[in-house]
Amino acid sequence: MPRVTTMPEIIFETPRLIGRHLDGDDLDDMLLVYGDRDAMRWVGDGEALSRDEAARWIQITQDNYGRRGYGMIALILRESGEVIGFCGLVHPGGQLEAEIKYALKRSHWGMGIATEAARAMIDYGSQCHGLRHIIATTAPENVASHRVLLKAGMARGDLVVNDDGSTTQYFDWHAPAV
């Protein structure tokens, strides 16, 4: 049965999803996604988040809403009201470019939901915040994420060698010329 709470600000709606700001009630759902070691193999350092790290991330995200007007959001399956993942625009390490990030519960992989969320997030960043350039980064081996980003309208960019010798595949989206 879906949990009934007061709905924070809705960011976008798609045929299957409602994207809304995070709040403290999202902690348990965040841990179902970011606490899953297998699901996190492609995220950050590949390690699952602890409860304290997830709570800190919600606070940082809420601070970003005030500072930038955007950040990570919860993805709610319209049909059931279930939080099934997270998506957002972030600036890791203070980088200049907005970077799209997303993660879903494994039970919702392979359904086109990540692509639907990424497209909606790019539209939101462009239309509501005037972003003209958005990037994404992935592990070169994460072919599923590459497909998501390409279907969402991003172009494959450079393969960059990092300081530690690992590589990162870049993708980017540019607003159409007006």
* Angle, CA 123 vertex, CA 122 and CA 128 arms, to 5°: 110
- Residue 60's alpha-carbon distances to 29, 47, 63, 65, 132, in angstroms, are 17, 19, 5, 9, 24
Ordered domains of the chain (ranges, CATH): 10-130 (3.40.630.30)
Q: Tokens standing for 75? A: 């993805």
What string of pLDDT tens digits covers the 178 residues of the chain? 454 444 569 999 999 999 999 988 898 998 888 877 777 666 666 677 888 988 898 999 999 999 999 999 999 999 999 999 999 999 988 899 999 999 999 889 899 999 999 999 999 999 999 999 999 999 999 999 999 999 999 999 999 998 889 899 999 999 988 7
